[in-house]
Structure 1
Amino acid sequence: MSESIVGKKSFEFAVDIVNFYKKITTEKREFVLSKQLLRSGTSVGANIREALNAQSKMDFIHKLSISQKECDETVYWLELLFATDYISKEEFENLKNKALEILKMIRSIIITTKSKNS
């Protein structure tokens, strides 16, 4: 697995999400949508880390699949925050692009692992 790359990027993304959460709750006083973003955005890397300790290839794929879903959910919350004017276009595009990059990496790892599993 390209853990060093996807693991590093997902951790950096989680740090960005935590910092954005602190900003939006302080400056915009938004607590509901931002909490959902915080949970899903930090879960991406946590599930990638769990995948490293998987007990089997199927467990590995399962953990990465959860990470994939959390990453896609994070994009949803970013889109909703942008659509409701809680996040600037620049912040939105920056975070969304990082999430989509990680999402593509996760999907690629899952596909590669499944093809080797056959």
Structure 2
Amino acid sequence: MIDFRASVEGLRPDQLDGFFVGWPSPPSPEQHLALLRGSAHAVVAMDGDQVVGFVTVLTDGVLMASIPLLEVLPGHQGRGVGRALVEVAVSLVEELYQVQLCCDDDVRPFYEKLGFQRVDGMVRRL
């Protein structure tokens, strides 16, 4: 059974293996934990003692929030974990005017099913 937590308290780097598949320079598990801790909100999906998915939220706390990262381990994809992570994350900032994110075209239908709309945007990846 998957447990969803809106806290990263007590997480360890060794619980964060297997993420950032295909990234040319993926963050280390220690950096991954630091980015979770540094986010305004972070929600993790736990399968026992292992993190199998996570989502981060950045916000100004007044009008806007952004979801910069959502990842689910390949072996747990297609089971509703990503959907649940986004739903919990959005519920944490539902009083704000807008929640935005950038995504690649292949995952756009996933976000559209969650109520997100396509808009023009720009991104610079370093």
TM-score, length of structure 1 as denominator length: 0.35
Work out which structure has the larger RCO, using CA pairs closer than 8 Å and 6 or more positions apart in sequence: 1
Computing the radius of gyration over CA atoms, which structure comes out larger, 1 or 2? Answer: 1
Q: Which has the higher strand share?
A: 2
Higher helix residue share:
1
> What TM-score, normalized by structure 2, do the two folds share?
0.33
